[in-house]
Amino acid sequence: MTALLPHEQSLTACAQAIAAGEVTAETVTRAALDRIEAQNPLLNAYLHVDSAVALQQARAVDLARVAGKELGPLAGVPVSVKDLIAVQGMPLTAGSRILQGYTPPRDATVVERLRTAGAVLLGKTNLDEFAMGSSNESSAFGPARNPWNTQRVPGGSSGGAAAAVAAGLGVAALGTDTGGSIRQPAALCGIVGLKPSYGRVSRLGVVAYASSLDQVGPMTRTVRDAARLLQVIGGPDPGDATCDLRALPDLEANLDQGVAGLRVGVPHEFLDGAEGLDPAVRSRVDAALQALQGRGATLVPVALPHTRHTLATYYLIATAEASANLARYDGVRFGRRTEARPGDGIDDLYARTRGEGFGTEVKRRILLGTFALSAGYRDAWYEKACRVRRLIHDDFERAWQTCDVLAGPTSPVVAWKLGEFVQDPLAMYLMDVFTLGVNLAGLPALSVPVGLHPDGLPVGLQLIGRPFDEATLLRAGATVEADAGTLEPPETPDASDRRPA
């Protein structure tokens, strides 16, 4: 692919160059659209692109600048939106056939805020169906591909968003994270992904997967970009009762202050005690931890003893909530409805619409969740999981007595081959072992690239913060980035396994 221009390499540089009149928003938007046209047929990162509307938005920014109007913080920056989030005038699929034909009547709050900040909305990115998955392969529209190696998965569920940002098909993206769906694809595609604290960002207009876990967040090329994007989308929203009332602090104010004196907890369960951790991933993570120490941070060993229960706990709670949330797709209210057959009753209509509309993974989760909530089993499964969730939360609370942030790998492995785990959902669920606890405890967490695996694929470091302390998290992330550097976007994506000589 043609090298990214300087103003395309970060949201911050892009906004600055446009505001200074060094480049027009239209030029930047055209460059992104050209790259989408050239690469999306292979990457399948976008499910919907609206070039005409994007160019119109870009020209409006250029006109406003020439007229001397004050520009928003994202004026002219081309961004994408995960197709789980409502954008007025664009179809919303959630990666599912069941929403076929559905176009939401209004913007999600986060999208409204992007528009107010002047961002140019390029389109909607690919995802696992209803955000259920870790590889993008459960999308009804085929998987997105990893731009570092197109035979590999981009991660999931926000795989399209991660692939798009890594390949320069847009400068930044909005993703969602229920159990790792921002951080893990960010790690697998070599970009930055920030899952904010539960309640930090409005979910009005965001399709619900598991309501006690879901959060919207930035996927960007740099840590500063993530801070700026969260600054725009985060903060109280009267339209979402689960959105916290605390105002966001200035997230960029202390970004460059370094980590001297910061206590970085290293959970035993994420490194020495972790099963299935690729040694080459481990060595990148160790190097990043050493670098933090070199900058004056103190590494503190900590224990998160209930980590071994996170997978079971998450998959009970997430599927239980999903089974309730997805009950609304009944063929009557949204999207697709099956052809009525003579003699069909309303129950047949529901059953056949859902049978045809949902894919295998979604059905599996609805069945699991319905079982976990059903009379006679609810106590043993769902309610027990809720009690274990509290223990997982308390592990983190104890860690905060001795540390300011926690650090470890985002994913135990780098991007795997397309199809590798499709027949083995449990093996795929196990890939989420380091990210799930964060959602169960409602914490903010960040994935930052820390270099390449010998296979030529990116490795991500996960940093976890105290509730609502995104500022410290981002400051630590900026320090990691200063040492590890950002990853250059891959050249022309090809389908070969690239091993550096």
Catalytic residue, chosen from 96, 135, 158, 181, is 181
**186 vs 271, beta carbon nearer ligand GLN:** 186
51 is catalytic: no
Whether 223 and 477 have beta carbons less than 8 Å apart is answered as yes
374 labelled catalytic: no
DSSP string, 81-140: EETTB--TTS---TT-GGGTT---SS--HHHHHHHHTT-EEEEEE--SGGG--SSSTT-T
State the nearest-atom distance from the C-beta of 434 to ligand GLN, in Å: 12
What is the torsional sign of CA 93, 94, 99, 103?
A: negative
Looking at the Cβ atoms of 127 and 264, the one nearer to ligand GLN is 127
Rounded to 5°, angle at Cα 498 from 489 and 177: 50
Q: Which of 80, 82, 135, 323 is catalytic?
A: 82
Cα(192)–Cα(188) distance, integer angstroms: 10
Lay out the sheet containing 405-409: strands in order across. Answer: 46-49, 120-125, 78-82, 172-177, 215-220, 192-195, 445-452, 458-465, 405-409, 263-267, 298-302
Minimal CA–CA distance to 58: which of 81, 85, 76?
A: 76
User: Exposed (0-12), middle (13-18) or buried (19+): which is 151, by Cβ within 10 Å?
Assistant: middle
Pick 81 or 349: Cβ nearer ligand GLN = 81
Task: Decide if 125 contacts 133 (C-beta within 8 A).
Answer: no
Applying CB under 6 A, the residues found at the interface with ligand GLN are: 131-134, 157, 177-181, 209, 318, 432
Question: Nearer Cβ to ligand GLN, position 57 or 310?
Answer: 310
Question: Do 439 and 177 touch, CB atoms closer than 8 A?
Answer: yes
- Least separation in angstroms between residue 425's CB and ligand GLN is 9
Least Å from the CB of residue 311 to ligand GLN: 10
- Taking the complex as a whole, the smallest distance from the CB of residue 12 to ligand GLN amounts, in Å, to 27
What residue type is 449 in one-letter code?
P
Closer CB to ligand GLN, residue 215 or residue 486?
A: 215
Place of tokens 């010998």: 454
CA angle 310-240-321, nearest 5°? 35
User: 395 or 432: whose CB is closer to ligand GLN?
Assistant: 432
SS3 (DSSP) at 147: coil
The nearer residue to ligand GLN, 19 or 322, going by C-beta atoms, is 322
Choosing from 157, 158, 202, 447, the catalytic residue is: 157
Amino acid in position 335? G
- Residue 236: CB minimum distance to ligand GLN, A: 24
**Between 77 and 84, CB nearer to ligand GLN:** 84
182-204 burial by CB neighbour count: b if 16+ within 10 A, else e? bbbbbbbbbbbbbbbbbbbbbbb
CA-closest candidate to residue 479, choices 226, 223, 258, 253:
258
Q: How far is the CB of 319 from ligand GLN (least distance, A)?
A: 8
Residue 157: CB minimum distance to ligand GLN, A: 4
Two tokens at 488? 């250059």
- ∠ CA 77-81-83, nearest 5°, is 165
- Of 373, 328, 314, 383, nearest to 130 by C-alpha is 328
Distance CA 364, CA 290 (A): 42
Residue 157 is among the residues annotated as catalytic for this protein: yes
Question: Least separation, in Å, of the C-beta of 355 and ligand GLN?
Answer: 21
Catalytic residue list: 82, 157, 181
